Amino acid sequence: MSELRLENITVRFGSRRTGLTAVDAVDLTVPSGHVVGLVGESGSGKSTLARAAVGLTPLTGGQVLLNGQPVTQSRTARRGRRPLQMVFQDPYSSLDPRMTAGDSIAEAIPRGTLRGAAKRAETARLIELVGLPGGAIDAYPARLSGGQRQRVALARALAGQPDVIIADEITSALDVSTQGAVLNVVRGLQRQLRLSMLFISHNLAVVRYVADIVAVMYHGRIVECGQADEVLANPRHSYTRKLLSAIPEPGTTLDATTDLADLPDEDLDQE
């Protein structure tokens, strides 16, 4: 994995006079082997920043650097590998419903690196790595739960051998226990593989569980950034304090005191 650095990133939609600045001169670094949690309410610019980083939204200004060098997604994509891989909020829309989980993952393996039985074995390894049962390899997305589809999306991202993974609100559409299962997978992968990851969420409790570093985004700008424990224990910006105060009481949703390791995992859907 590598260091991702976003320098002076600006994204503007529309004309200069009537347009909207969604991301305004953002500087953010994801150190190699660390998870940076980017948190903010809906409309703060988090997802736009993520899409700009991977080249899905054009930059108005700034640059995206990997280990100090500009990212060139198109050049590496021609060889079947993208240095930045994105995991989206809704895995059902990002997975081909006509392909099994195994086929979707295998398709993301860079061309020419593995073939035949070796490719199948690597796909099975990735399935196991994200905590899915072996039978999931032959399951279609419709046969999987939301949390399982999100794990397939994670495995597919890993199959592409990226330098950095960007996870955009990957637990926001899941129920509490499923959120916990997916977050446990993310934290386990980070410990095992030393992932470099930009983890985006509107939920500070979720970010606290997986992130080493927390960045708070408000109206298109980073208003606070630092070590997770320090930012969450002693927030300096009023917006960060507002986000902390909005964490629901235990028992209503995922909260800052939830022991995610105790939350149950899912089983493969049976019909």
CA 195, CA 198: separation in Å to the nearest integer? 10
Tokens 């993208």 belong to which residue? 82
Tens of pLDDT, residue by residue over 176-232, are 878 888 999 999 998 888 989 999 998 888 888 899 999 999 999 999 999 999 998
Amino acid residing at 38? L
pLDDT score, position 253: 43
- Output the CATH code of domain 1-83+163-175+190-250: 3.40.50.300
- Per-residue buried b or exposed e for 163-180, using 16+ beta carbons within 10 Å of the residue's own CB: bbbbbbbbbeebebbbbb
Half-sphere exposure of 232 (CA within 13 A, CB side): 22
Q: Which positions ≥6 away from 224 have C-beta within 8 Å?
A: 214, 215, 216, 231, 235, 236, 237, 239, 240
Strand segments, DSSP code E, in the chain are: 4-13, 20-30, 35-39, 61-66, 69-70, 84-87, 164-168, 197-201, 213-218, 221-227
pLDDT score, position 254: 42
Q: Which positions ≥6 away from 135 have C-beta within 8 Å?
A: 268
Tens of pLDDT, residue by residue over 16-55, are 777 899 999 999 999 999 999 999 988 899 999 999 999 9
pLDDT score, position 9: 96
pLDDT confidence tier of residue 71, bands split at 50, 70 and 90: confident
CA 256, CA 237: separation in Å to the nearest integer? 19
Three-state secondary-structure class, residue 156:
helix
| Domain range list for the chain | 1-83+163-175+190-250, 90-161
Residue 271: how many CB atoms within 10 A of its CB?
Answer: 4
Is a pLDDT exceeding 60 seen at residue 76? no
pTM of the entire structure?
Answer: 0.85
CA 128, CA 181: separation in Å to the nearest integer? 14
Is a pLDDT exceeding 80 seen at residue 268? no
Strand segments, DSSP code E, in 79-163 are: 84-87
CA 234, CA 165: separation in Å to the nearest integer? 28
pLDDT score, position 53: 94
CA 175, CA 194: separation in Å to the nearest integer? 27
Q: What is the DSSP letter of 265?
A: P
- Of 237, 255, 221, 248, which is closest to residue 43 (Cα–Cα)? 221
Dihedral sign for Cα atoms in the order 15, 16, 17, 18? positive
Among the ranges given (73-87, 156-170, 205-219, 242-256), the one the predictor scored with the smallest mean pLDDT: 242-256
